[in-house]
């Protein structure tokens, strides 16, 4: 390989890098992202599992019973190992926690008032209203806006909540609760069912067809015929104006290479 040929590859390398970075890479990434539901909301590094009020509203239209969704969306007060540990770390009365763990483990209460009324009847009950009010929040249990790092944790929480969801519904809910991105072909499915797609496709075909036929071919043919009957000097000017935008990049590349 001659020195000039090697230099040619060296000089054209920056152009190839720019083409790869600013043209080929965006095209490739667009093709990849089209098979995902990735957006600014999902991010690119994955996500967690989180049940939100808007998610429950969406699921109500997908065969989920309203009573079940209401139970998921409502708060409850639960005496469990996890809530007892939270209360213990917060500095709650040890004798009260011991009594709850030994005699009332697993009990659920549908409201804060009901739970506080229950606490007042215990042998080691809170001694003051302030202590009572500060103890009850540690036993609060709600899945709304609570983040779970894995699908297994979310399913365990749903099972612990004793909802009347079938295994299929639990799987469907956990998939919908995932805040990260997933691989999917829904983008193409939506594109096929949207009425705007046909109109956009039709407009694109019309635009490309008329651009190629009327402008590139038709106008060039008209210019060729018209300049044939013009004086040689004037015809050369019109031909140059027509060809200049088309040959300028190639000419510039050759000049730079030389």
Answer whether 0.95 is exceeded by the pTM.
no
The pair of three-digit structure tokens given for residue 233, joined into one six-digit string: 């000097």
Q: Which tens digits make up the pLDDT trace of 111-150?
A: 788 888 888 888 888 888 888 888 888 888 778 878 888 8
User: Considering the domain boundaries, does residue 147 fall inside one?
Assistant: no
Task: Please answer whether residues 244 and 225 qualify as being in contact, where contact means their C-beta atoms are separated by less than 8 angstroms.
Answer: no
When mean pLDDT is compared over 4-13, 199-208, 210-219, the highest value belongs to 199-208
The residue among 160 and 143 whose pLDDT is bigger is 143
Token pair of 202, please?
Answer: 């039709």
- How many Å separate Cα 56 from the centre of its chain? 18
With a cut of 70, say whether residue 251 has pLDDT above it.
no
Cβ-in-10-Å burial (0-12, 13-18, 19+) of 16 comes to exposed
The answer as to whether 125 is a domain residue is yes
| Residue 28 within a domain | no
All residues at 6 or more sequence positions from 174 whose CB lies less than 8 Å from its CB, including other chains:
49, 151, 154, 155, 158
Alpha-carbon distance of 64 to 174, in angstroms, equals 13
Could you say which of 141, 161, 182 is where a domain stops?
Answer: 141
Percentage of residues in the chain having pLDDT higher than 70: 90
In-domain check, residue 110: yes
In a domain, 40, yes or no: no
185 found inside a domain: no
Residue 248 pLDDT > 70, yes or no?
Answer: no
H-run or E-run covering 120: helix 112-120
Percent of the chain with pLDDT over 90: 2
- Residue 256 in this model has a pLDDT that exceeds 60: no
User: Is 258 a residue whose pLDDT tops 50?
Assistant: no
Measured CA to CA, the distance from residue 248 to residue 236 in angstroms comes to: 16
**Is there a domain that residue 218 lies in?**
yes
- Rounded to 5 degrees, what angle do the CA atoms 226, 229, 233 make? 95
* Per-residue confidence (pLDDT) for residue 28, from 0 to 100: 92
Do the beta carbons of residue 176 and residue 58 sit within 8 Å? yes
> At 200, phi and psi to the nearest 5?
-65, -40
pLDDT tens per residue, range 73-117: 777 788 888 888 888 888 888 888 888 888 888 888 877 888 888
pLDDT at 35: 92
Boundaries of domain holding 255: 194-258
**pLDDT for residue 244 is more than 70:** no
Sign of the C-alpha dihedral, residues 140, 146, 152, 153?
Answer: negative
Is 249 a residue whose pLDDT tops 60? Answer: no
Confidence band for 191, pLDDT divided at 50, 70 and 90 = confident
Start-to-end C-alpha separation, the chain: 17
The total domain count for the chain is 2
What mean pLDDT, rounded, does the chain reach?
Answer: 81
In a domain, 34, yes or no: no
The mean per-residue pLDDT over the stretch 171-186 comes to 88
Which residue pairs from 59-63 have beta carbons closer than 8 angstroms and sit at least 24 positions apart in sequence?
A: 59/172, 59/173, 59/176, 62/172, 63/169
Which is higher by pLDDT, 77 or 219?
77
Vertex 14: Cα angle to 10 and 16 (nearest 5): 100
Last residue of a domain, one of 102, 122, 141: 141
Rounded Cα gap, residues 217 and 232, in angstroms: 22
In the listed set 107, 124, 141, which residue is the last one of a domain according to the structure? 141
């Amino acid at each position: 390989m001659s020195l000039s040929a090697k230099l040619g590859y060296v000089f054209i390398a920056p152009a190839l890098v720019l083409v790869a970075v600013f043209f080929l890479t965006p095209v490739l990434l667009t093709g990849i992202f089209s098979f995902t539901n990735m957006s600014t909301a999902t991010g690119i590094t994955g996500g967690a599992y989180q049940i939100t009020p808007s998610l429950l509203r969406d699921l109500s239209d997908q065969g989920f019973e309203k009573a079940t969704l209401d139970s998921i969306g409502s708060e409850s007060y639960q005496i469990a190992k996890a809530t007892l540990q939270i209360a213990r770390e917060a500095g709650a009365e040890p004798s009260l926690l011991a009594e709850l763990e030994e005699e009332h483990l697993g009990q659920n209460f549908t409201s804060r008032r009901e739970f506080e009324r229950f606490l007042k009847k215990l042998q080691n009950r809170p001694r003051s209203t302030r202590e009572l009010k500060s103890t009850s929040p540690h036993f609060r249990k709600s899945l709304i806006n609570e983040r779970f790092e894995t699908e297994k944790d979310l399913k365990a929480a749903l099972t612990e909540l004793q909802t009347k969801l079938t295994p299929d519904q639990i799987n469907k809910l956990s998939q919908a609760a995932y805040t990260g991105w997933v691989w999917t072909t829904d983008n193409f499915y939506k594109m096929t069912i949207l009425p705007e797609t046909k109109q956009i496709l039709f407009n694109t075909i019309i635009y490309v067809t008329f651009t190629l036929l009327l402008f590139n071919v038709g106008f060039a043919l008209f210019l060729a015929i018209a300049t044939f009957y013009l004086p040689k000097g004037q015809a050369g000017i019109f031909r140059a104006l027509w060809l200049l935008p088309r040959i300028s990049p190639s000419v510039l590349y050759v000049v730079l290479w030389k």
